[in-house]
Structure 1
């Protein structure tokens, strides 16, 4: 049995049983005799063993010299974590660490049945692990008594403040006994954490491990520049190139998580989603699928994946770039844990290169800039893995010899090897063909077809010319604001194409003609299915031969209206009079002085016999005075 100096014997046995030979820097720091019984503010990298560290630090004070705990009653220690997954993970860690001490550990997390938790608390617990909101609910309902707490632990304290749990934390710390030990663990120590420590800790010892504020030495950071439309294809190639035992892809929104999950499922990846909209049981099943090997890729948002620990997580992919250095470090900290190597790959669109450089500089991370793995590189890496597969070094078993001989006699060694190769490749998703990214400092001139619609008189956009090109018609045109810059990515996304498969594009008012290569057209029509409908309800109609662009321009629609010449054919008798007014001719005045012969004038502007009220200098001839003053003057003259 491995001996650890200064550790409770039962805890030391649990460590040896778990296979621990040496402790991490933060775990050694928490065993310092000068820290016994004191408050501490600890900052250490994610994945440095903080859960075991505070478990080691709490044990002497909770056991008080005894080898085992007595009957469970009112909790003696409280551990607070920001998310459900992290809280349940802390509970699992403490359960094996305190297994030989007879400790009872209960959890109180959001999303779980509160009645079940209440019954567990009534039976008694030595240590309670929970999230801030649920712990506050139990305390207010008197189902959790924290009057006898000896220690409180805040795990990932900076994240709890970022998520808005300050009021809940202050309520818990103010309700707990004043004579308690408070340990705060945080990856970073911003001003908000320092202020919280000053308010609720007494003469706290500041502990900073040697790895603080610098990149994790076991993580290889790679910044991969891509054309924006190739972002998802680049992620596919990264996953295929590394073929990690477990990988996690970070997105910024739930919608992005759902989109990538559906896309990767269609490509044959075994994926699970992890976002805030999932229920607790769904999240638990997703993580369990990753742990037992049923899924190998987890697509998650930042908050949902906070603090989770997946065994064998070798690859972290940032599908959406982190917004700040702390998020980058927390995401990347999911890999490279416990001495294992890991890769953190940032998918960087060309337009975001400068922003990514500032992000890496602020995080004090030195990343390797490169292009994503190409399809050729992925295939070459597959061949290397196949040749080095341990299956070829395994000894031939007795029950296999007869069948092996039959296969060799029936098909020959070369044919058997070819069949094995085909079966191996069939189990892997095909890599994507990526566009070439300009070299550093080279400014790429945008092609006309990438950013604007062509002229009406242009036969095509100047893209690839195919001798055997196949044309299709899309039910969208310039009137629907159709542009190649979003049409081309949509066609590639829905039809399993690359830009090399797309030729000329001709846009009409309400219709767009697109030319595909023969192979690309077959793949495109097969991918969109029998209903032949794309995103936004765009309909696809295959065409036979090259379309008549002049006829389509006259029609001005998706093949429904009559030609312009037929629409405008009217008899001269039925022609509409060119009056400026909409009034009918028979209602217009006629006779002497009429202006009906002048269609460019309003015929009712001047009518004979009506008074002119434009002036106030007396009545017109044959008329009446048009004002009170004029009438008085006329009366005075005797008129």
Structure 2
């Protein structure tokens, strides 16, 4: 289905970007926004929702004209939970509203507030920001919202989970009553419904169905590797794919530095991204990737959050992700808004079981194979050489004259050989690598699926689950209980012990409710927050001095539930 009638400059922007037809969320929003109603949209990250609300508010901002009004007090405001997402939204709206002479200003933490203030005073038609920084500019009377025609809350559920309710309500209370309000959220908990009821007028609800696990546009590959050859395999994968932009994930900043240096030494144009880098360094590296001056980015998970590179078609996990949620977040950098992408995990035989568990949790079926060999890559080089611009483009008169001079000295066969040598010298030499095979033989067994209802029901009267939030994420029972009950469709009494660790939390669910909980959480959860049921051998050991541990029937568990019902829940330290 093609795009419906849009303001002329917006239609030109879409055509220049190669948008032939809308994604499901864009089609639904465009169809609904024609009536001028507020929208409450449930849609997943990576579905094209930024362009969706950019298109939805285009009519009220531009109308039938060719350009937006001259920059003054903003006409549209987009509120996002994180700096990375806000900057990504700014980039999307800049190209979408570029032909309409749109000026988009970002107001986010970590950037110079004085520079933002000067830009706001100079005038912008669209402002994108995080709740805290936007409130700060409002309180300093730098940001004027009196002319707003449209407000967007992007990933509203995440903003509420992060504790931004007061800031959001402060900002919305400063906006005009006559405005369009578009609220986008991966899930629609009671807090979102209350927000919509208070700040929207007769909002139309849109639930955009999508995959609850993984991305349909991402092909997964699992490559068997020998641990000492991982860097060589990364090099061969980059050579095999010849992707316009690729990102390689490592688990530590030291690994990032080492791999980036190794790739640069071998002839790749590569930049590194890690948490120790300043914002200026990060912006310069990302701009080099967007401009095409650099083709490979080596990054840690923290540094790569919020990265959106339109030409990114290959993700390589040089280090195995910590869990399925991290794997999906990494892989989700590609395969966005209808584009195709490939996600490749490097799996030593000793960690194959762990990789299979992650694939089962994410409900993806990878293609297993050994690493691409040097001979395979040389064969691909021979095929690509004939389509290389150096050979495929017409020869100029100057080149012809030089060729005649060379033919007087060398035979045609010798010159062809020299041309092949020059072509190969431009490319990093592939490495000889080993395929470790399937490892030692082992008995056949069914794939591990930690969210299979039948398997969970067979686990017994109580089932332990693992949640990928821990102390490093400021997890505490008072925050976790509403999250688990809301997204897992549980009563508080159906949750037993909760043990919070540094990177994860383990908690107990009454056996009769466990299967229902797993299914509901998989349906209502987000790619950022995931759970998995633990086999009995991975369940935490009972507490000393408490026979049977803190099971769902234990007095200690009952006391925890009573305290939770009163607003206080004593954390179980681990």
- CA deviations 1:82-128 (Å, max 9, x no partner) are 45454334223323433455544322133433222112222333321
Provide the C-alpha distance between the structure 2 equivalents of 1:369 and 1:263, rounded to a whole number of angstroms. Answer: 26
1:198 to 2:193 alignment: yes
Taking a change above 3 Å as real, the CA distance of residues 378 and 167 of structure 1, as seen in their structure-2 partners, is farther
What residue in structure 1 maps to residue 74 of structure 2?
Answer: 75
Deviation at 1:326, TM superposition (A): 4.0
- Structure 2 unaligned spans of 5+: 443-574
Deviation at 1:248, TM superposition (A): 0.7
Contact 1:290–1:296 (CA under 8 A) maintained in structure 2 = yes
What residue in structure 1 maps to residue 117 of structure 2?
Answer: 118
Provide the C-alpha distance between the structure 1 equivalents of 2:11 and 2:311, rounded to a whole number of angstroms. Answer: 25
- CA deviations 1:492-520 (Å, max 9, x no partner) are xxxxxxxxxxxxxxxxxxxxxxxxxxxxx
Contact 1:7–1:31 (CA under 8 A) maintained in structure 2 = no
Contact 1:111–1:279 (CA under 8 A) maintained in structure 2 = no
Contact 1:250–1:320 (CA under 8 A) maintained in structure 2 = yes
Contact 2:222–2:347 (CA under 8 A) maintained in structure 1 = yes
Pick the structure with greater CA Rg. 1
Matches within 5 A, 1:133-532: 133-146=132-145, 149-157=148-156, 169=168, 172-173=171-172, 181-185=180-184, 188-189=186-187, 194-202=189-197, 205-337=204-336, 339-389=338-388, 391-439=390-438, 442=441
Contact 2:7–2:65 (CA under 8 A) maintained in structure 1 = no
Taking a change above 3 Å as real, the CA distance of residues 159 and 4 of structure 1, as seen in their structure-2 partners, is same
What residue in structure 1 maps to residue 50 of structure 2?
Answer: 51
Provide the C-alpha distance between the structure 1 equivalents of 2:430 and 2:350, rounded to a whole number of angstroms. Answer: 24
Deviation at 1:246, TM superposition (A): 0.9
TM-score (norm 2): 0.67
**What secondary structure does 1:247 align onto?**
strand
Deviation at 1:33, TM superposition (A): 3.2
- Structure 1 unaligned spans of 5+: 444-639
Provide the C-alpha distance between the structure 2 equivalents of 1:239 and 1:354, rounded to a whole number of angstroms. Answer: 26
The RMSD of aligned alpha carbons is 3.3
Provide the C-alpha distance between the structure 2 equivalents of 1:424 and 1:132, rounded to a whole number of angstroms. Answer: 52
Deviation at 1:294, TM superposition (A): 1.6
Taking a change above 3 Å as real, the CA distance of residues 370 and 158 of structure 1, as seen in their structure-2 partners, is farther
What residue in structure 1 maps to residue 39 of structure 2?
Answer: 39
- CA deviations 1:439-486 (Å, max 9, x no partner) are 26526xxxxxxxxxxxxxxxxxxxxxxxxxxxxxxxxxxxxxxxxxxx
**What secondary structure does 1:436 align onto?**
coil
Provide the C-alpha distance between the structure 2 equivalents of 1:419 and 1:163, rounded to a whole number of angstroms. Answer: 61
**What secondary structure does 1:411 align onto?**
coil
- CA deviations 1:165-222 (Å, max 9, x no partner) are 6665565456656775543445x43xxx634412321275543434432543332210
Deviation at 1:291, TM superposition (A): 2.0
Taking a change above 3 Å as real, the CA distance of residues 286 and 167 of structure 1, as seen in their structure-2 partners, is farther
Provide the C-alpha distance between the structure 2 equivalents of 1:126 and 1:154, rounded to a whole number of angstroms. Answer: 17
Taking a change above 3 Å as real, the CA distance of residues 401 and 362 of structure 1, as seen in their structure-2 partners, is same
Deviation at 1:43, TM superposition (A): 1.1
**Count of residue pairs brought into register by the alignment:** 438
Taking a change above 3 Å as real, the CA distance of residues 150 and 401 of structure 1, as seen in their structure-2 partners, is closer
Mean Cα deviation higher: 63-72 or 313-322: 63-72
Taking a change above 3 Å as real, the CA distance of residues 439 and 68 of structure 1, as seen in their structure-2 partners, is closer
1:94 to 2:84 alignment: no
Contact 1:216–1:336 (CA under 8 A) maintained in structure 2 = yes
Provide the C-alpha distance between the structure 2 equivalents of 1:12 and 1:90, rounded to a whole number of angstroms. Answer: 19
- CA deviations 1:518-538 (Å, max 9, x no partner) are xxxxxxxxxxxxxxxxxxxxx
Provide the C-alpha distance between the structure 1 equivalents of 2:343 and 2:225, rounded to a whole number of angstroms. Answer: 16
Contact 1:81–1:155 (CA under 8 A) maintained in structure 2 = yes
Contact 2:314–2:342 (CA under 8 A) maintained in structure 1 = yes
Contact 1:233–1:432 (CA under 8 A) maintained in structure 2 = yes
Deviation at 1:54, TM superposition (A): 0.5
Deviation at 1:131, TM superposition (A): 3.0
Provide the C-alpha distance between the structure 1 equivalents of 2:426 and 2:350, rounded to a whole number of angstroms. Answer: 35
Taking a change above 3 Å as real, the CA distance of residues 323 and 181 of structure 1, as seen in their structure-2 partners, is farther
Taking a change above 3 Å as real, the CA distance of residues 180 and 303 of structure 1, as seen in their structure-2 partners, is farther
Deviation at 1:28, TM superposition (A): 0.7
Deviation at 1:62, TM superposition (A): 4.4
Provide the C-alpha distance between the structure 2 equivalents of 1:360 and 1:167, rounded to a whole number of angstroms. Answer: 39
- CA deviations 1:350-406 (Å, max 9, x no partner) are 222222222222222221111121233223322332245354443332222221122
Provide the C-alpha distance between the structure 2 equivalents of 1:322 and 1:356, rounded to a whole number of angstroms. Answer: 9
**What secondary structure does 1:272 align onto?**
strand
**What secondary structure does 2:358 align onto?**
helix
Provide the C-alpha distance between the structure 2 equivalents of 1:319 and 1:383, rounded to a whole number of angstroms. Answer: 27
What residue in structure 1 maps to residue 565 of structure 2?
Answer: none
Provide the C-alpha distance between the structure 2 equivalents of 1:368 and 1:39, rounded to a whole number of angstroms. Answer: 40
Provide the C-alpha distance between the structure 2 equivalents of 1:65 and 1:399, rounded to a whole number of angstroms. Answer: 52
**What secondary structure does 1:373 align onto?**
coil
Contact 1:41–1:204 (CA under 8 A) maintained in structure 2 = no
Mean Cα deviation higher: 251-260 or 284-293: 251-260
